[in-house]
Amino acid sequence: MALDPKKTFTDNEVEERLAVDLPQWKLQDGWIRRTYRTSSWKGTLMVINTVGHLAEAAWHHPDLTASYAWVEVRLMSHDAKGITERDFQLAKKIEDVVGWQPGGEPDSALEGTPRGDQRFAYIKYD
């Protein structure tokens, strides 16, 4: 059975889903939100561009607020006037991509950015 992309969830359903699937996200003022802390403006722009690419590919567009060392991502389905499955799925994809760290994968040739050298700092992982 196909998911109804415009079915909205109650606040309690959203809170339960976030606790299980997206613990770094929170429900506030009708939006699901996540703030990514970055190491600099460079990292902030990289997060914004990553979120922008994923949102455009999904044809579901978040609201973003940014400063020098952070980006807040807010999701809510404007057409449904609430939180829908689209919001959860895009939040999960954003979380997976922005939070990805290659250095910990076994047998990976991708070592990740050098740790401890601020010239290469990007995002502050939770």
Residues spanned by the domain of 78: 28-100+120-126
Does 113 reside within a domain? no
CATH number for position 85:
3.30.1360.20
Residue 1: what pLDDT? 55
Residue 6: what pLDDT? 84
Residue 108: what pLDDT? 81
Lowest-pLDDT range of 65-69, 85-89, 121-125: 121-125
Does 75 reside within a domain? yes
- Mean pLDDT over all residues of the chain? 92
- Model confidence at 124, pLDDT cuts 50, 70, 90, reads confident
- The whole-angstrom separation of Cα 19 and Cα 74 is 17
Does 81 reside within a domain? yes
- The whole-angstrom separation of Cα 81 and Cα 8 is 8
Q: Provide the number of structural domains found in the chain.
A: 1
Which residue type, as a one-letter code, is found at position 59? Answer: W
Rounded to an integer, the average pLDDT of 67-81 is 96
- The whole-angstrom separation of Cα 33 and Cα 12 is 16
Does 45 reside within a domain? yes
Does 90 reside within a domain? yes
Angle in degrees, CA 77, 38, 46, rounded to 5: 65
Lowest-pLDDT range of 3-12, 58-67, 77-86: 3-12
Does 17 reside within a domain? no
- Model confidence at 104, pLDDT cuts 50, 70, 90, reads low
Alpha helices in the chain (DSSP H): 11-21, 41-58, 85-98
Q: Are 111 and 63 in contact (CB under 8 A)?
A: no
Judged against a pLDDT cut of 80, whether residue 126 lies above it is answered with no
Does 32 reside within a domain? yes
Give the Å distances, CA to CA, from 112 to 13, 30, 62.
Answer: 36, 36, 28
Does 111 reside within a domain? no
CB-side neighbour CA atoms (13 Å) of 51: 25
Rounded to an integer, the average pLDDT of 21-38 is 97
